[in-house]
Amino acid sequence: MLGATGLVGGAILELLAARDFPVAELRLLASERSAGKTIEWKGETLTVQAVGDYSIQGLDVVLSSAGGSVSAEWTPKLVAAGATVVDNTSYWRMKDDVPLVVSEVNPDALEGHKGIIANPNCSTMQMVVALKPLYDAAGIERLVISTYQAVSGTGKGAIDELRAQARAVVGGYDVPEPQIYPHQIAFNALAQAGSFPDGDDHTDEERKLINETRKILGDPGIRVSATCVRVPVETGHSEAVNVETREPLEPERARELLAAAPGVTVVDDPAAGRYPMAIDAAGKDDVFVGRIRRDPGNERALDIWVVSDNLRKGAATNTVQLGELLIERNLLNRG
């Protein structure tokens, strides 16, 4: 594992143990800062090593979540050393010869890999799991998406920032200057998840949602409009998605299709106040869907509310599922 000391890395470690992932040796790699730290895993004490030319030798599968620039440098070296890499960063996702795979949506895309498999962005991942059964039944013409994204999507430092600011506001003392986000996140909503690349009026997170959705569903014709918002939730991204289908699709049929879809749990009883919530999704692997209803302004569109743990299905769960699929389908070492 590369990025073993991070938030996603921690969730991957939990899942590897819980799912009995077949492991002969588990090697924990991170930066020089973490070298020598120990992590308990399945009753063993494992020592973290710095990623380096020596520590990357002899690995079959690398589940990697150490940031884009680290991945750009080390993924090719890992592949050259014989590993198959499942990478969580955005660096490889849109490269033509790198499959971008969600285990419930396009697992067959793994077949053509050349040593690197990309794990999608968290907000895209949970949404396409919910969209896949609707897409298969009626096609998708257009999506209008608003996200409400948790701070754990930005890593450990962002959780610390939210907590420190929240303590200050509640305690009535000076709120510490933001370090991670451009503005105070506690008791606020930022119409900026990600950053604005030069000359773009969309954030990189919004571009990921647009481009990755088309790549995973294999349909460049889908029109996608996205606004990604950061909210002071610790874990669990929520998304309001307006889905315009190509063929007619009744909300009742959509509810049935979603209820039968792998990796989806429908929570949809608005009269009883039941709909998916981030605090319920946190720590779970499924994608939760509710508020399934007809868009009153468009007879060909449905509105749905999609919630999932960004560290689980949005990152670690899919990474581990892809590792399992690579082993089951005998697809390792294609580098």
Ligand X SMILES: NC(=O)c1ccc[n+]([C@@H]2O[C@H](COP(=O)([O-])OP(=O)(O)OC[C@H]3O[C@@H](n4cnc5c(N)ncnc54)[C@H](OP(=O)(O)O)[C@@H]3O)[C@@H](O)[C@H]2O)c1
Q: Give contact residues for ligand X (rule: CB under 6 A).
A: 3-9, 30-31, 33-34, 51, 65-68, 70, 88-89, 122, 152-153, 155-156, 310-311, 314-315
From the CB of 214, what's the least distance to ligand X, in Å?
19
- In the bound state with ligand X, the residue whose beta carbon lies nearer, of 236 and 276, is 236
From the CB of 287, what's the least distance to ligand X, in Å?
14
Q: How far apart are CA 78 and CA 100, in angstroms?
A: 18
- In the bound state with ligand X, the residue whose beta carbon lies nearer, of 103 and 310, is 310
Q: How far apart are CA 191 and CA 214, in angstroms?
A: 23
- In the bound state with ligand X, the residue whose beta carbon lies nearer, of 67 and 335, is 67
From the CB of 1, what's the least distance to ligand X, in Å?
9
- Nearest Cα to Cα of residue 129 among 241, 233, 227: 241
Residue corresponding to tokens 């690398």: 62
With CB atoms as reference, the residue minimizing the distance to ligand X is 6
Is 314 in contact with 283 (CB distance < 8 Å)? no
- In the bound state with ligand X, the residue whose beta carbon lies nearer, of 255 and 312, is 312
Catalytic residue (choose from 122, 183, 202, 228): 122
Q: How far apart are CA 176 and CA 329, in angstroms?
A: 50
Q: How far apart are CA 236 and CA 142, in angstroms?
A: 25
From the CB of 42, what's the least distance to ligand X, in Å?
19
- In the bound state with ligand X, the residue whose beta carbon lies nearer, of 8 and 83, is 8
From the CB of 158, what's the least distance to ligand X, in Å?
8
From the CB of 34, what's the least distance to ligand X, in Å?
3
- In the bound state with ligand X, the residue whose beta carbon lies nearer, of 50 and 175, is 50
- Asked if 122 is an active-site residue, the reply is yes
Label each residue of 269-311 as H, E or C. Answer: EHHHCECCCHHHHCCCCCEEEEEEEECCCCCCEEEEEEEECCC
Q: How far apart are CA 72 and CA 321, in angstroms?
A: 23
- Nearest Cα to Cα of residue 70 among 111, 123, 34: 34
- In the bound state with ligand X, the residue whose beta carbon lies nearer, of 8 and 301, is 8
- Asked if 183 is an active-site residue, the reply is no
Tell me how far apart the terminal alpha carbons of the chain are, to the nearest angstrom.
18
Q: How far apart are CA 126 and CA 53, in angstroms?
A: 35
Tell me the two tokens of residue 279.
Answer: 């605090």
Four-CA torsion 110, 102, 48, 34, nearest 10 degrees? 130
Catalytic residue (choose from 113, 183, 202, 237): 237
From the CB of 157, what's the least distance to ligand X, in Å?
6
* Residue 125 CB partners (closer than 8 Å, separation 6+): 102, 119, 308, 313, 314, 315, 318
Q: Which residues are catalytic?
A: 122, 237
